[in-house]
Amino acid sequence: MPQILLELSHNIIEKDVNEALLEIHTILSEKLPTQLRSCKTRVVRQEHFLIGGGEKNNAFVYLSIGVIKGRSQEQLNAIGLMLMDVLKKAFQQSVSSLDVQLTVAIQDLPEVYLRYSP
């Protein structure tokens, strides 16, 4: 916990996102709170996507985070705003060159969520 997915359209300019991922993990470990070692992120660059009418300048960055229930809406909103700031900073070059949609979504994990970590 938390489960983190960062999806990027293939035309996003920035290739190395590790610094942003570490910042995301740090925010979540401090603000949820959770153990840093519990943060798991997958990064997927989407080769095939369509935004609007298919203009080549369209791009997206979508950060989806699943957390165990129990956080207040205010807490999750505050974390979401912090994470949006991370995305704005991490993808500055793409934002200034492309028509980029940045999105942060935080949702509760399913009722049954099993984890094994010896």
The tens place of each residue's pLDDT in the chain, 118 residues long, gives: 899 999 999 999 999 999 999 999 999 999 999 999 999 999 999 999 999 999 999 999 999 999 999 999 999 999 999 999 999 999 999 999 999 999 999 999 888 767 777 7
In a domain, 113, yes or no: no
Which pLDDT score is estimated for 24?
Answer: 98
Bridge partner list, 103: 62
Total domains in the chain come to: 1
State which residues form the domain around 25. Answer: 3-108
Q: Is there a contact between 12 and 45 (Cβ–Cβ < 8 Å)?
A: yes
Measured distance CA(72)–CA(45) in Å, rounded: 31
CATH code where residue 100 lies:
3.30.429.10
In a domain, 58, yes or no: yes
Which pLDDT score is estimated for 90?
Answer: 98
Q: Is there a contact between 79 and 72 (Cβ–Cβ < 8 Å)?
A: no
Which pLDDT score is estimated for 118?
Answer: 77
Q: Could you tell me where the DSSP H helices lie in 1-118?
A: 18-31, 73-90, 92-97
In a domain, 115, yes or no: no
Rg (CA), the chain: 15
